[in-house]
Structure 1
Amino acid sequence: MWPVILFPLLISSVVGGWEKKFINFGSFVCPREEKALGRCLKDSFNLYIPQLASGLPEYGLPACEPLVVPSLTVEQSTGAIRVSSTYSDVTVRGPSKMKVTNVDVNPRKHLVVVDMHIPELLMRGRYRLHGNVLMLPIEGEGTFSGRYSDIDAVVTIKLGRAHRENSVDALSCDSLDVHFHVAGASVQLNNLFGGDGELGRAMNKFLNENWQKLTEELQAPLEVALKDFLKPLADHSFATLNADDILYS
C-alpha cells in the first residue's frame, strides 16, 4: 500500500526480483500478496470513486452523477399492498460518497469481492401508480422523492483476459454484480388521490411505515444503476494491469 513517491525506496530495499512482488496500479505500487493487494486496491478505489461525480476526462470517463434511470415498472402484490407503478426520469445522487471497506482478491477463481458502505442515495423523478393498499384504492401521478440510508453493498467482479496485439494479455472486468442491504428508507409521493392532501399524507405515512416492502421492489433497479456507475471504474482500473500480474491461470 505504498504511493508512487516511495517507489525509489522500494527499489533500494528489495534486492532482486522486486518486479515479481509488486504491481503498478494507478498512483499506487501494490504488493502481489493477496491480502496486501486487497488493502492496496481498497485505497486505490477510495481515491478514484469521489472523482467519478465530475468525471475523469483524462481516462475518458464522463461525469457519472447524478445517475439517470430512464424508466422502470414495479408490480407489488404482497400482503396489504397490491400496486402497479411506473417511474420515469429518475435521478440518483449519492454513489460518489461511497467508501470501500474491504477488498478480497482470489486470483485462482478470478474473483474480486468488494465491500462498501453508501451513506445515502437520494432519488427524484416522476411516478404513476394505481392499485390497492389495505383494501383502499390508491392512485396518483406526479413527482416523487426517495431516500435510502446506510447501505451496505457487495460488489462481485469476475476477472478475465483481454488480448493485446504484440504484448501480454491485459486484465479485464468480465462482469460486475451489485447487491446491497438498506438500513432505512423513505418516500414522498406528491399528488396522490388527485391532490387530496389528507388522504395523500395518510398514504405516504403508511408507505413509510412499511418501507421494507418498497425497498424490496425498487432494489433491483437501483442495483443496476450502481452497476452502471461502478463498471467504468472497474474497466479502467483493471485494464491498466497485465493479466499475469493477478491471475494464476
Structure 2
Amino acid sequence: MESRIIAATLLLCCIGYTYASNMPDYIQICHRHDPELSKCVKQSVHNLRPYLGNGIKEINVPALEPLYIGDLNILEGGAGGITVKAKKLSVYGASNFEITKMRASIQNKRFDFELILPLLKGEGQYDINGNILALPIKGNGPFVGNFTNFVAYVRIAYDIKNINDVDYFELKEFGLRIRTGKGRLRLENLFNGDKVLGDVINQTINENFELFTNEVIAPIARALEIKFRAVAIKILENFTYNELFPV
C-alpha cells in the first residue's frame, strides 16, 4: 500500500514537471489543489506582466503599451448637460498594475482580485460641451492626463469545456470596476484657444478632479474591460486546463 502511494506521488510530480518544462517562460503553472492557490495565481499574473507591454505574438496577445482605445463617447447629457467625447485615445502604463488582493477558487470557478494602477497617462483628442460646476465649457483639441493610484476590481468566472477529450477554459464573465485616484488633466484649445478661460476651466477640473472623473470613469472602465478581456481570452485559449492548473 505504501509503495503505491509513493508511486502515485512520483507520478504526479513527473506530470507536474512535464507541464512546467513544456510551458513558456511567461506562464507559471499553479496546481489546482495548492492550499495557497490564491498566492500562486497572484504570482503567476505578476510573472506575466513584463511580457504584456509588447504583447505575446506567438499566442496573439496584443500589446498593452500603449493601450489603444480609439474613439469613445465618455459622457452624454451628464450633470449640466455636459457631453464629452474622446478620439484616438491611448493609455500608457496599463501593464504596470500590481495585484493587492486575490481570491482564487477552483471549486467556484472564479477569480476575484483587486489591483492598483500606480501611474497611467492618457492622451488623444477631445470634444467637450456643457457645464462643469456651473461654469460653461466648450472646446475641442488635444488633451493629456496623468492619473495615479487608480484601483480596479476584477471578477472572472469561467467554465470548463471539453474538446476531443481535452479540457479548456471557457471564460463566462469578466467584470471590471475602477475607483478613481488622483491626477491632472490638461485640455488644450478650450474656447477656441482663449488662454484665460482655458486656464480657469483646467484649474477648476483639476481642483475637482475626483468629482469630474467620477462622471466620466464608467465608459472608460468598460473600454478597459473589453481590452483586458481580450487579453485573458487569448491566454486561456492557447493552453489546456491541465497545463495551467495540473493536479
Q: Distance in 2 between matches of 1:92 and 1:127?
A: 14
- How far apart, in 1, do the equivalents of 2:31 and 2:169 lie? 17
Who is 1:225 aligned against? 223
Structure-to-structure mapping, 1:82-161, within 5 angstroms? 82-161=81-160
The alpha carbon displacement at 1:34 in A equals 5.5
Q: 1:105 to 1:216 in 2, by over 3 A?
A: same
Task: Say yes or no: does 1:33 pair with 2:33.
Answer: yes
Deviation at 1:128, TM superposition (A): 1.3
Q: Distance in 2 between matches of 1:237 and 1:21?
A: 22
Amino acid at match of 2:62: P
The share of aligned pairs that are identical, in percent, is 25
1:177-218: CA deviations, max 9, x gaps? 111212212211111111111111011101111112221232
The worse-fitting range, judged by mean Cα deviation, of 102-111 and 144-153 is 102-111
Range 117-126 or range 58-67, more displaced: 58-67
Determine the C-alpha separation between the residues in 2 that align with 1:181 and 1:139: 27
Q: TM-score, normalised by structure 2?
A: 0.81
1:43 alignment counterpart: 43
**How many correspondences in the alignment?**
233
Partner in structure 1 of residue 177 of structure 2: 179
Deviation for aligned residue 1:98: 0.8
Identify which of structures 1 and 2 has the higher relative contact order when contacts are C-alpha pairs closer than 8 Å and 6+ apart.
2
Distance change (3 Å), C-alpha of 1:34 and 1:179: farther
Structure with the higher strand share, 1 or 2: 1
- Secondary structure, in 3 states, of the residue corresponding to 2:9? coil
The whole-number CA distance in structure 1 between the counterparts of 2:49 and 2:227 is 10
Higher alpha-carbon deviation: 23-32 or 84-93? 23-32
Cα distance, 1:111–1:22 mapped onto 2, change above 3 Å:
farther
Q: What residue ranges of structure 2 are gaps of 5+ in the alignment?
A: 1-5
Contact 2:59-2:235 within 8 A present in 1 as well: no
Cα deviation code 1:18-44 (max 9, x no counterpart):
369969574434232365121111111
Tell me whether 1:15 sits opposite 2:9 in the alignment. yes
Give TM-score, length-normalised by structure 1.
0.81
Classify 1:245/1:210 alpha carbon distance in 2 versus 1 (closer, same or farther; 3 Å).
Answer: closer
After superposing the two structures, state which structure 1 stretch, 229-238 or 173-182, moved more.
229-238
3-state DSSP of counterpart to 2:173: strand
Note closer, same or farther for the CA distance 1:86–1:220 as it changes in structure 2 (3 Å cut): same
Matched letter for residue 122 of structure 1: K
Aligned residue among 206, 209, 234 for 2:207: 209
Q: Which residue of 2 aligns with 1:77?
A: 78
Query: What amino acid is the match of 2:38?
Result: G
The answer to whether the Cα contact below 8 Å between 1:160 and 1:171 also exists between their aligned partners in 2 is yes
Q: Shift in Å at residue 134 of structure 1?
A: 4.2
- Tell me the residue number matched to 1:235: 233
Q: Which runs of 5+ in 1 are unaligned?
A: 1-11
Distance 1:133 1:89, change over 3 A: same
* Cα separation, partners in 2 of 1:244 and 1:198, compared to 1, 3 Å: closer
